Each structure stands twice: as structure tokens, then as C-alpha cells.
Amino acid sequence: MASRTSFLAKLIGLYSILAALSMSIRGQGTVQMVTEILHDSSLMFLLGVITLIAGLAMVLAHNVWSGGALRVTVTLIGWITLIKGLLFLFLPAGDEAGFFLGVMHYQQLFYVYVSFALVLGLWFTYCGFAVKERA
């Protein structure tokens, strides 16, 4: 496995685990905070810039569409992050809030999303640390 894939799997995995655990511990407080952020155009712009940088870094460093599920999934996460950053920058805050709170039912499905992030994080972390690097 490429060392870049392994590194990004570890990074995404550990981030997802820690973020999911933090969000689940805070529960309703996290839902309220996210709702407030989605309605604040200044914070959404800042979040968009940070998300765009992360997405661009992943896409430029790891744009691999073959070689197994982990490699493709890492690439897919990079592209999703990039697109999310662009949407945060270019969509009005109200539209973003409408999408996440209305269409995605973030408040109602909060623990489903957190559970998905936790499981995905565990899988990424396991794959990133379990696979031996090739010299």
C-alpha cells in the first residue's frame, strides 16, 4: 500500500473517531452549535476556506481511482471535502442551513451521522495501521 494512502487513512480515521466521540458526548449541544454556525455567513466562509484547503490538499496528494477500496475511498473523501468547501464558500448561509437542517435532517438523524463517522473512522484507522508498508 502506498505510504500516502496509509497516512491519509490514519489521518481521516483518527479525525473521524475523535470528532464523532466529541460530538456524541456533547449531543444536543453539538446540534445547537452546528445549527448556529450554519446561519452565520462569516463562520461559514471561514469553515469553507479551511475545508477547501483540506480538500485541495487531499485531491492534489491522492487522486487515485484504482488499487482497492481504501485507496478509492480516500480519494473520494478528498473530492467530497473539496466540493463541500466550495459549497460552503459559494452558497449563501441560508441555503446551506436549509440543505443540512432540512434535506439532510441533521437534527433528527444526528446520531446516525455520528455513528457513520465513527464506523468509517474505525475502518480507516484499522486499514491505515494494519497494512504493512512496502519498502
Nearest to 122 by CA among 19, 2, 23: 19
Q: Convert the pLDDT of each residue in 21-57 to its tens digit.
A: 999 999 989 999 988 888 888 999 999 999 999 999 9
Domain boundaries, the chain: 3-130
Q: Convert the pLDDT of each residue in 49-108 to its tens digit.
A: 999 999 999 999 999 999 899 999 999 999 999 999 999 999 887 788 888 888 888 888
pTM of the entire structure?
0.86
| Vertex 44 angle, CA 41 and 46, to 5° | 110
Nearest to 93 by CA among 37, 53, 51, 33: 37
Q: Give CA–CA dist 17/25, Å, rounded.
A: 12
